[in-house]
C-alpha cells in the first residue's frame, strides 16, 4: 500500500455500530446518509485537492461507508495497513463524537508515531477538551482550514515551529498550545473545487468505496458547491448562526464565492459527473445582482446539471424567472420548521405562511423540478399540538400546489443534539430548553444508547424527550394521511407507512421496557432479541428515504465523461 502524507478518515457516528444494539429512529431521515451518518464533510474534498495541488500525497477513506457495505470488515486491520504521517479525522457535527474518538484511538494503537489531527465546527468548539484525550494530537480550528492545513504540513515536513500555523491547537510536552483563529478568509475565491482530483484519487487507489461521500452515492450521485460561509441569521438552534460564527469560529461577516467562480465550480463538476449539484447557502445574500451573474455565467458555460438551492426565506418571482430562463433544471429546499407564527418567530425565521405559499405557487409555475419543505419537532415554544399542527398544515400546502407531486413536505425531530454554539445551547433557560449534555464527553457517552430517545441531549419547557419522540411518529402519520387525501400516495402505500410508523413507535416502547431490567446480562440478551427488527427499522422510519432523492442517473453512466475530461486535462 502506498504511503501518503495525510489520510482523511471519516468515522461512523458510533463505533462499532455493527456490534451494538442501536435503535436509531428518525435521526437521519432528512439527509442522504443513513443513521450511521456516513456522509463526510465537503471540506475533505477541498482540503485534499488543495494539498494535492501543493505537492502532497493525500487520500480520503470513508470508513463509515465501508463498514456499512462490508459488515465483516476488520477496521483495525485495515487501519493498520494504512501508511501516513498524519491522519485527519473530522468532528464537524457532534453525532460523530463517539466514532471519531474511537477511530482516533485505533490510529494511535496501530500508528503511535503518526499525528492525529481533528477539525470541524464541533472540534473547534471543543478543541481544549479534545486535546485532553490521549489519542488526539492536534486540532485545526475555524470554518476554512485549507491554508492552515498546508502550513501545518509544511511545518511538519520542514521541522518548523508549530507557532507559525494559523488556527492550530496542539499538545507539546503534555502542555496544550493554542494559536488564535487568524485565517478567516473574507471571500471564498481562493480555492477552486476540483472534482477531477477525486476521480484521479479513486483510480490511483483503486478505491471507489472509500471515496464515496455516502453509502448509496454511486446509485444516485449528488454533488456540492459552497456559495457562502457564515450566515446573516441567528436561528435559535443552529450552530452555524451569525452569533456562533462570531463567537467561536472567528467569522465576523459571511464570505461569498464570486458568482462567476461558483458557476465554474458547477461546470467543473459537470465535466466529470452528470448529477444534481447542491448549492450550499442562500446565494441571494450575495447582493441584488448575485443570482443574475451566476445564472448568466452558468448558461454561458453550458451548465445543464440540475441545480438545488437552499433558501432561508421564500424566493420571490424574480428568482424563478432567472432560474427558468438560464438553468437546465432547478429545485428548491426551504425550512420554515413550523407553521405556527409564534414558534417560527421564536426560532428566528421571520416570514409568513402566505409568503411561503405564494413562493410555492410561483416555483411550480416557473418549472421547478422539486420543492422540498421541512418542518421540525423540538423547537422553542412548540407544544405537541403545535408540532402535529405543522404536519397537518402539509395538507394546506399540497392543496396550494393542487396535488402537484413536485412539492414534498417532510417533518423530523431536532435530533440527536442541540448544536454547541447555538443560542439555545449557550443560554438554554432563556430559550426554553433543558440541556442534558454540555461537555464533549457527555455527548460522546450518549451516542451508544440503545434508543434514539435516550441520545437526545435536550428537552424543552413545552415537551419532554418522551413527548418529542412520540409526537415525531404522530406527525409523520399526519403528513402521510395528507399525502393520501391529496392523491399523492395510494391506500396501500398509506397503510404500509402507517404500519411502519406504528412498528417503530412500538420498538421504542419495547426498548423502554428492556431498559427497566436490572440485570445487565439479561438486559443485553433482551436487546439482542430485538436486534434484527430494529435494524429493519433503521432507515425511513417516518420519511421514506427514496422521497428525499433527486432524480439522478447512476455513477456508472458518468464514467465515459470522467475519463474524457481526464484525457483532455492531461
45 is a domain residue: yes
Where is 68: in which H helix or E strand? Answer: helix 63-69
| CATH number, position 41 | 3.40.50.2300
Between 196 and 305, residue with greater pLDDT:
305
- Rounded Cα–Cα distance for residues 401 and 412 (Å): 22
- The answer, yes or no, to whether residue 135 has pLDDT greater than 70, is yes
The domain tally of the chain equals 1
Contact 359, 316 (CB under 8 A): yes
* pLDDT at residue 421 tops 90: yes
% the chain with pLDDT above 70: 93
pLDDT tens figures, 215-246: 777 777 888 899 999 998 999 999 999 999 99
List, for residues 74-83, the tens digit of each pLDDT value.
Answer: 999 999 999 9
- Asked if residue 29 has pLDDT above 70, the reply is no
Torsions phi, psi for 441 (to 5 deg): -65, -40
Q: What average pLDDT score do residues 155-160 get?
A: 96
Instruction: Give the phi and the psi of residue 23 in degrees, each rounded to 5.
Output: -95, 100
Question: Cis before residue 375, ω within 30 degrees of 0?
Answer: no
Beta carbons of 10 and 63 less than 8 angstroms apart: yes
- pLDDT tens, residue by residue, 438-489: 999 999 999 999 989 999 999 999 999 999 999 999 999 999 999 999 999 9
pLDDT at 223: 87
- Residue 381 forms part of a structural domain: no
100 lies in a domain? Answer: yes
- The crossing angle, in degrees rounded to 10, of helices 465-485 and 384-400 is 20
Q: What pLDDT score does 567 carry? A: 46
pLDDT of amino acid 30: 56
Q: How far is CA 136 from CA 117, 119, 175, in A?
A: 7, 11, 13
| Predicted local distance difference test score (pLDDT) of residue 565 | 46
pLDDT at 561: 44
Q: What is the structure's pLDDT at 36?
A: 82
Residue 162 domain flag: yes
Report yes or no on 259 lying in a domain: no
Is the pLDDT score of 32 beyond 90? no
Q: What is the pLDDT of residue 363?
A: 98
Going by pLDDT thresholds of 50, 70 and 90, the confidence category of residue 26 is confident
Quick: pLDDT tens for 507-563: 899 999 999 999 989 998 998 888 878 777 776 555 555 565 555 555 445 444 444
pLDDT at 104: 98
Q: Tell me if 379 is assigned to some domain.
A: no
Whether residue 121 is predicted with pLDDT greater than 90 in this model: the reply is yes
Residue 207 has what pLDDT? 74
Give pLDDT, residue 465: 95
Write out pLDDT tens, residues 354-381: 999 999 999 999 999 999 999 999 999 9
Task: State which residues form the domain around 93.
Answer: 4-178
Does residue 568 lie in a domain region? no
Cell 436490572 sits on residue: 518
Residue 317 domain flag: no
- Average pLDDT across the chain, whole number: 90
Amino acid at each position: 500500500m502506498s504511503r501518503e502524507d495525510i489520510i482523511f478518515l471519516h468515522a461512523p457516528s458510533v463505533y462499532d455500530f455493527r456490534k451494538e444494539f442501536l435503535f436509531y429512529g428518525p435521526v437521519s431521515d432528512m439527509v442522504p446518509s443513513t443513521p450511521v451518518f456516513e456522509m463526510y464533510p465537503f471540506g475533505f474534498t477541498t482540503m485534499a485537492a488543495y494539498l494535492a495541488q501543493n505537492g502532497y500525497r493525500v487520500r480520503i477513506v470513508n470508513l463509515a461507508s465501508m463498514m456499512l457495505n462490508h459488515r465483516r470488515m476488520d477496521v483495525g486491520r485495515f487501519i493498520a495497513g494504512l501508511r501516513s504521517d498524519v491522519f485527519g479525522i473530522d468532528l464537524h457535527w457532534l453525532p460523530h463524537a463517539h466514532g471519531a474518538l474511537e477511530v482516533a484511538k485505533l490510529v494511535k494503537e496501530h500508528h503511535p508515531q503518526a499525528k492525529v489531527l481533528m477539525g470541524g465546527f464541533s472540534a473547534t468548539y471543543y478543541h481544549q477538551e479534545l486535546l485532553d484525550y490521549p489519542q488526539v494530537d492536534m486540532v485545526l480550528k475555524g470554518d476554512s482550514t485549507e491554508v492552515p492545513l498546508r502550513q501545518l504540513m509544511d511545518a511538519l515536513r520542514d521541522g518548523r515551529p508549530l507557532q507559525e500555523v494559523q488556527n492550530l491547537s496542539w499538545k507539546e510536552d503534555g502542555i496544550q498550545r493554542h494559536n488564535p483563529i487568524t485565517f478567516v478568509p473574507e471571500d471564498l475565491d481562493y480555492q477552486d473545487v476540483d472534482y477531477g482530483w477525486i476521480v484521479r484519487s479513486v483510480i490511483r487507489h483503486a478505491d471507489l468505496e472509500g471515496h464515496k461521500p455516502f453509502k448509496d452515492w454511486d446509485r444516485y450521485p449528488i454533488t456540492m458547491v459552497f456559495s457562502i460561509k457564515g450566515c446573516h441569521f441567528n436561528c435559535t438552534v443552529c450552530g452555524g448562526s451569525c452569533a456562533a460564527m462570531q463567537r467561536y469560529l472567528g467569522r465576523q461577516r459571511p464570505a461569498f464565492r464570486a458568482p462567476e467562480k461558483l458557476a465554474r465550480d458547477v461546470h467543473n463538476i459537470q465535466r466529470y459527473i452528470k448529477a444534481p449539484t447542491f448549492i450550499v447557502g442562500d446565494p441571494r445574500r450575495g447582493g441584488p445582482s448575485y443570482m443574475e451573474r451566476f445564472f448568466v455565467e452558468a448558461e454561458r458555460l453550458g451548465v445543464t446539471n440540475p441545480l438545488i438551492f437552499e433558501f432561508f426565506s421564500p424566493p420571490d418571482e424574480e428568482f424563478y424567472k432567472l432560474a427558468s430562463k438560464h438553468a437546465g433544471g432547478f429545485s428548491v429546499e426551504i425550512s420554515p420548521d413550523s407553521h405556527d407564527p409564534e414558534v417560527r418567530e421564536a426560532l428566528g425565521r421571520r416570514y409568513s405562511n402566505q409568503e411561503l405559499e405564494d413562493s410555492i405557487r410561483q416555483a411550480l409555475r416557473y418549472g421547478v423540478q422539486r420543492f422540498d419543505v421541512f418542518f421540525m419537532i423540538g423547537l422553542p415554544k412548540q407544544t405537541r399540538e403545535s408540532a402535529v399542527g405543522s404536519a397537518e398544515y402539509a395538507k394546506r400546502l399540497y392543496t396550494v400546489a393542487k396535488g402537484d407531486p413536485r412539492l414534498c413536505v417532510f417533518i423530523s425531530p431536532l435530533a440527536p443534539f442541540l448544536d454547541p454554539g447555538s443560542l439555545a445551547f449557550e443560554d438554554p433557560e432563556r430559550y426554553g430548553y433543558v440541556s442534558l449534555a454540555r461537555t464533549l464527553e457527555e455527548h460522546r457517552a450518549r451516542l451508544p444508547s440503545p434508543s434514539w430517545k435516550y441520545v437526545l441531549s435536550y428537552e424543552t419547557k413545552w415537551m419532554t424527550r418522551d413527548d418529542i419522540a412520540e409526537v415525531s411518529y404522530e406527525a409523520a402519520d399526519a403528513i402521510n394521511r395528507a399525502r393520501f387525501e391529496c392523491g399523492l400516495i395510494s391506500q396501500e402505500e398509506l397503510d404500509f407507512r402507517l404500519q411502519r410508523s406504528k412498528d417503530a413507535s412500538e420498538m421504542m416502547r419495547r426498548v423502554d421496557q428492556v431498559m427497566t431490567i436490572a440485570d445487565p446480562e439479561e438486559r443485553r440478551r433482551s436487546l439482542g432479541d430485538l436486534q434484527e427488527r430494529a435494524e429493519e427499522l433503521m432507515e425511513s422510519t417516518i420519511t421514506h428515504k427514496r422521497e428525499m432523492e433527486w432524480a439522478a442517473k447512476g455513477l456508472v453512466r458518468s464514467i465515459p465523461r470522467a475519463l474524457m475530461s481526464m484525457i483532455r486535462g492531461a
